C-alpha cells in the first residue's frame, strides 16, 4: 500500500455584494469572497491538497482563472473533477484536515453541513473530512476582515 500526503493553501479577498460560499454551502454574511469561480476558499485549498498528494500539480493548472469556462463555476464541480482525476491515478482519499482562518462570520455552526456537502461530492464519509475554524486574533489581512485563508492536508492511499 502506498500512502501520500498533500498540503493546500488558498486565500480569497472579501467584498460587499458578493456571496459567501464555504465548503459547498452558502453562508449569510455582509461580505462574500471574490474570485474567478464562486471563490469557495475551503474547497480550493482541499483540491490543492488532494492534487498535491497525487502529484497532479494544483487547482490553477487544471482550472485556470483565465479560462472563461470556469468563470463563476460552482467549486463543488471542481472538487468532483479533482476526485475523478486522483481516482483515475488509482488513489482513494483516506482523509482531509482543513483549517479556515476568518474573523467573521462564526464558522463552527456550519461545519456539519459543510462536511456532509463535500462528502457527498467526494463520495466519501463525512467522518473522513475534518474542518476546524480559527481567527487570526485581529492580525493581518484576515484580522482586518479583508479576506479569508484556508490550510488543508489530504492523505491518499494507493493499493
Please give the annotated binding residues, written as ranges: 10-12, 36-37, 44, 58-60, 63-67, 134-137, 141, 144
CA distance 44 to 76: 9
Phi/psi of residue 107, nearest 5 degrees: -90, -35
Collapsing DSSP to helix, strand or coil, 45 comes out as helix
CA distance 6 to 123: 19
Known binding-site positions for a divalent metal cation: 10, 12, 44
Residues in the chain: 159
Collapsing DSSP to helix, strand or coil, 153 comes out as strand
Instruction: For the beta carbon of residue 30, count every other beta carbon within 10 angstroms.
Output: 11
With CA atoms as reference, report the closest residue to 154 among 27, 8, 13: 8
CA distance 76 to 53: 19
Amino acid at each position: 500500500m502506498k500512502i501520500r500526503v498533500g498540503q493546500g493553501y488558498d486565500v480569497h479577498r472579501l467584498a460587499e455584494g458578493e456571496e459567501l460560499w464555504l465548503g459547498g454551502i452558502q453562508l449569510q454574511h455582509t461580505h462574500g469572497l471574490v474570485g474567478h469561480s464562486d471563490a469557495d476558499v475551503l474547497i480550493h485549498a482541499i483540491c490543492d491538497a488532494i492534487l498535491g498528494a497525487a502529484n497532479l500539480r494544483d487547482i490553477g493548472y487544471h482550472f485556470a482563472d483565465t479560462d472563461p469556462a470556469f468563470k463563476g463555476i460552482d467549486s463543488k464541480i471542481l472538487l468532483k473533477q479533482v476526485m475523478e482525476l486522483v481516482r483515475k491515478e488509482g488513489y482513494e482519499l483516506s482523509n482531509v484536515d482543513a483549517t479556515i482562518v476568518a474573523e467573521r462570520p462564526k464558522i463552527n455552526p456550519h461545519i456539519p453541513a459543510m462536511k456532509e456537502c463535500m462528502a457527498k461530492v467526494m463520495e466519501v464519509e463525512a467522518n473522513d473530512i475534518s474542518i476546524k475554524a480559527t481567527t487570526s486574533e485581529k492580525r493581518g489581512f484576515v484580522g482586518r476582515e479583508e479576506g479569508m485563508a484556508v490550510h488543508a492536508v489530504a492523505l491518499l492511499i494507493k493499493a
